[in-house]
């Protein structure tokens, strides 16, 4: 999604070198995807092996000076999530952004995710409602394809901040597929103001720390 497919991970004295996705070296990335010889190869691992890799990703990657480490997780409340919380605990994680889509079936699962955060002592920065409505490019009618309102209700029920709704935009999907910079190319997109507002709320919660 960040146009980094096929890149290799190198080692230095400080550990694995993360892959930089831009010239300015403002965003770097680490993923098991970089360790696969073939992108179609399945990673058929049970929990313990996944846990070991996650620990390595936190402690053995030479991240350098970072303002923000964003950890993308799979759905669920299992090995990967517990391993991540355990590995990051010594570093005082800021918290979790919990993403849902609007419909009740999705919210039903994400409620459990919020319980996971509570039980593991992970602060919830807020709930984001994704795929929140689609504006028809032909007639501008907005349809709630995946229902509406679930994210805000969930945040209210759980007593956590609601950070915002991001509408569906096929240009966002296309950009990710083609590895383009969505924010630079589509500032007119309906998704852009939503994404920007959410990012700004996170920045307000935790401005980049002065070393």
Partner 1 sequence: MEEVPQGCPGTGSAQAGRGASCQGCPNQRLCASGAGAAPDPAVEEIKEKLKTVKHKILVLSGKGGVGKSTFSAHLAHGLAEDENTQVALLDIDICGPSIPKMMGLEGEQVHQSGSGWSPVFLEDNLGVMSVGFLLSSPDDAVIWRGPKKNGMIKQFLRDVDWGEVDYLIVDTPPGTSDEHLSAVQYLSAAHIDGAVIITTPQEVSLQDVRKEISFCHKVKLPIIGVVENMSVFVCPKCKKESQIFPPTTGGAEVLCQDLKIPLLGKVPLDPHIGKSCDKGQSFLIDAPDSPAALAYRGIIQKIQEFCGLHQPKEQHLISS
Interface ranges with partner 1 (CB under 8 A): 1, 11, 15-16, 32, 35-37, 39-53, 56, 60, 74-79, 81-82, 101, 103-106, 108-109, 111-116, 119-120, 134, 136-139, 141, 143-147, 168, 170, 173-174, 176-178
Torsion region of 63: left, alpha or beta (phi above 0 gives left; psi -120 to 50 gives alpha): alpha
Report the nearest approach of partner 1 to the CB of residue 208 (Å).
29
Q: What does residue 48 show for φ and ψ, rounded to 5 degrees? A: -55, -40
Quick one: 94 or 103, whose CB is closer to partner 1?
103
Report the C-alpha gap between 163 and 196 in whole angstroms. Answer: 11
Nearer to partner 1, 113 or 129 (CB): 113
* Burial of 165: CB neighbours in 10 Å, binned 0-12, 13-18, 19+: buried
Chain centre to alpha carbon of residue 88: 16
Q: How far is the CB of 28 from partner 1 (least distance, A)?
A: 18
Q: Which is nearer to partner 1, 24 or 177 (CB)?
A: 177
Q: How far is the CB of 44 from partner 1 (least distance, A)?
A: 5
Please tell me the total number of residues recorded for the chain in this structure. Answer: 211
Cβ distance to partner 1 smaller for residue 46 or 209: 46
């Amino acid at each position: 999604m960040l146009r980094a497919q096929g890149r290799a991970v190198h080692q230095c004295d400080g550990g694995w070198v993360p892959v930089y996705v831009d010239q300015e070296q403002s965003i770097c990335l680490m993923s098991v995807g970089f360790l696969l010889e073939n992108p179609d190869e399945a990673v058929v691992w049970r929990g313990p092996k996944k846990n070991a890799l996650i620990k390595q990703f936190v402690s053995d990657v030479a991240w350098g000076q970072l303002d923000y480490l964003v950890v993308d997780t799979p759905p669920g409340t299992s090995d990967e999530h517990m391993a991540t919380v355990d590995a990051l605990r010594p570093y005082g994680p800021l918290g979790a952004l919990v993403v849902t889509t609007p419909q009740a079936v999705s919210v039903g699962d994400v409620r459990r995710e919020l319980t996971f955060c509570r039980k593991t002592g992970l602060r919830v920065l807020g709930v984001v409602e994704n795929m929140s409505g689609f504006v028809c490019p032909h007639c501008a009618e907005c349809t709630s394809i995946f229902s509406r309102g679930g994210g805000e209700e969930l945040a209210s029920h759980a007593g956590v901040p609601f950070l915002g709704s991001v509408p569906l935009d096929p240009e966002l999907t296309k950009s990710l597929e083609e590895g383009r910079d969505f924010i630079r190319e589509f500032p007119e997109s309906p998704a852009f103001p939503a994404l920007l507002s959410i990012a700004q709320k996170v920045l307000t919660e935790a401005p980049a720390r002065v070393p």
